[in-house]
Chains A and B, each alone.
Chain A
Amino acid sequence: MPTERPYLAILLWSILSIATLFPVYWLFVISVKPAVDLFTTPSVILDSVYWKNYADVLGNETLRRYMMNSIIISTGNAFLVTTLGFMACYALSRFDIAGKENIFFWTITNRMAPAAVFLLPFFLLFTQVFAIGDWKLYDTRIGMILLYCTFNLPFAIWTLRPTIDGIPKELDEAATVDGCSTWQVISQVIFPLARPGLAVTLILTWVFAWNEFLLAATLTSFNARTITTGLSEYVTSTGTEWGTMAAIAIITLIPALIIFSVVQRHIVAGLTFGAVKE
């Protein structure tokens, strides 16, 4: 799709967008229908809008709390994971660490575990091992932030490694010769150059944490319960409340969409990134 023919690109994307949007559009359609209308002949066109589901959801204090928990947990986790992943990748890329390729591979094995069986050990860890007196890691936001590192941190390390490796070593050597400390090299040379990669990592890990269901369902009860888990309560209860569920789902999409649109600019900033190299 050469630049001279932008209309082909636009046409192609319009078609793809319809395919991409349809399930989300359908979610919206379900969310603005009274329950009785859901099982009549399906129609693509929305003829009337019924907002009661949204009013129910927004008026529900418990759901608002779950929403807040989700925001805190996913934001905390995304920043923690991106920072640690960045540090780890810098160490793996620039230092002569014994067995570093094995360490690199090992990190990803933490993401391979089938979830169902690991719920119990996590539960024991959260209720018995990390428990001092009355305090337990169970049902705390900090517990979920740390727990999500098991699958998000390997992801961050694996997506950031090519970015960090791609930054020429000569740049940090030059900075070191000019008298920069390791900290200054990281903050003033590597960090600005790695920003597009960091932005991608940050949004993706945020989204993974935001969407996680199984662990949150097992390891939280109320204080740290997330919105995805709250949403599932409507799916599995006797006779699924599709309308309410869809309304919650649409609401949970909004913060993610906002974050996406904001960070998109940083990915665009990455377009000049290639010019800096070599």
Chain B
Amino acid sequence: MRSNTVGWLLLAPTLVILGLFGIMPFIYVLYVAFHQWNPFGFSPDMIYNGAKNFRRLVFDREFLLSLWVTLKFAFFAVTSEIALGYLLAQLFTREFPGKAFFRTIHTLPLIVAPIVVGSVWRLMTTPSIGIIPYYLDAWFGYELNIGRDAGAAFALTVIMDIWHWTPLVTLTLLAALVSLPKEPFEQAQIDGASKFQIFWHITLPMIRPAILATVFIRLMDALRTVDEVWMLTGGGPGAATRYVGLHIWKVVFPKTDYGYGSAISVIVLYLTLVMCWILYVALVAPRDRKKRTS
């Protein structure tokens, strides 16, 4: 048996860094969440007010609405990205002329900073100056106005997210697909399995950890999206794209209600954690249990 000390030593730098830059700020936020605090106001003292901030957010319609639109956004964006990303990754496992070129093109959106992505999409879609509303109107007579049409604004944030993040899904799934052993696939083909059977019984179980990791990363990032949406719609029209990350920003900065903002953050963090934990248990645990009993 190999010494566990070596294992802990390999793990130690990670634990130290995440402890310093992850746990310490979190404890501070948790502490602030139980206080009424406006550091930039007339009385910049922290006043302890127990769980009042948490009681307040349960009945805060603005917050609940922002949570709901965030969940909708995350659902549509992440499912589309996983489906599209998988198809594209599967395409990239084949050989065809110009593959390396197309792959570089496909990864391009990934290297554009979120703040730039938001700006460009805004320039392309703002009524009267944007190229997209212009041609939609000229060709189809459709008036796209993200400043007024809540549905269009929401759809556009989802499309922007798909444009920006599908390449990430393609890359992580491609890395998983190319690392699969070939024998089970050859064997299945010899046995006359259909394409769908191969996908369902061989490919999917084998790349499940990679899919899971990708869903996690995308889900949690979608739940805290700020920069891009801020640049594209500013959260509007109304509250149609006022996602939770943005909502917290608005509570903390223009309103400088730091205690309440911290409480919302803690709850959002907690909800994200629970969602991911459920996913983790539902998808990973059965696999491990099977491994242990077999």
Contact = CB atoms under 8 A, between A and B. Distances in A.
Interface of A: 1-3, 6, 9-10, 12-13, 16-17, 19-21, 23-24, 26-27, 30, 38-39, 41-42, 44, 84-85, 87-88, 90-92, 94-97, 103, 105, 107-118, 120-122, 124-125, 129, 146-147, 149-150, 153-155, 157-159, 161-163, 165-166, 176, 182, 196-197, 200, 204, 207, 210-211, 213-214, 228, 231-232, 235, 242, 245-246, 249, 252-253, 256-257, 260-261, 264, 267-268, 270-271, 273-275, 277-278
Nearest to A98: B4
Interface in B84-133: 88, 91, 93-98, 100, 102-117, 119-121, 123-124, 129-131
Contact of B28 (A24, A27, A121, A214): A121
A35 to B, nearest CB: 12
B11 A87 contact: yes
Interface in B196-210: 209-210
B175 interface: yes
Nearest to A129: B24
A261 B104 contact: yes
A42 B220 contact: no
Contact of B29 (A9, A121, A246): A121
Contact of A268 (B29, B91, B100): B100
Contacts of B110: 204, 207
Nearest to B11: A91
Contacts of A147: 21
B175 to A, nearest CB: 5
B94 A17 contact: no
B179 A197 contact: yes
B269 A113 contact: yes
Contacts of B252: 116-117
Contacts of B134: 41-42
Chain A at the B interface: SS class? helix
Nearest to A23: B120
Which of B25, B121, B253 has the most chain A CB within a 10 Å cutoff?
B25
A162 B108 contact: no
B265 interface: yes
B34 to A, nearest CB: 14
Interface stretch (B41-49, B54-62, B145-153, B166-174): B166-174
A274 B177 CA distance: 9
Given A26-B123, A150-B22, A214 B227 contact: yes
Pairs of residues from A and B, 8 with the lowest C-beta to C-beta distance, nearest first: A95-B7, A121-B25, A256-B111, A211-B113, A91-B10, A6-B96, A110-B22, A42-B131
A42 B91 CA distance: 35
A108 B216 contact: yes
Contacts of A249: 112-113, 116, 119-120
Which of B39, B134, B179, B249 has the most chain A CB within a 10 Å cutoff?
B179
Given A124-B28, A153-B17, A207 B226 contact: no
B98 A13 contact: yes
A166 B180 CA distance: 9
A81 B276 CA distance: 23
A228 B224 contact: no
Contacts, number: 298
B63 interface: no
Contacts of B25: 113, 118, 121-122, 125
A235 B130 CA distance: 17
B168 A204 contact: yes
Contacts of B163: 19-20, 23
B75 interface: no
Contacts of A252: 113, 116
A260 B262 CA distance: 38
B142 interface: no
Which of A2, A95, A103 has the most chain B CB within a 10 Å cutoff?
A95
A97 B1 CA distance: 12
A17 B99 CA distance: 12
B290 interface: no
A244 to B, nearest CB: 12
Contacts of B7: 91, 94-97
B179 A17 contact: no
10 contacts: A23-B112, A23-B163, A27-B120, A96-B1, A113-B29, A117-B248, A182-B6, A204-B168, A253-B111, A275-B182
B65 interface: no
A264 B104 contact: yes
Contacts of B268: 114
Nearest to A83: B13
B168 to A, nearest CB: 7
Contacts of B20: 125, 146
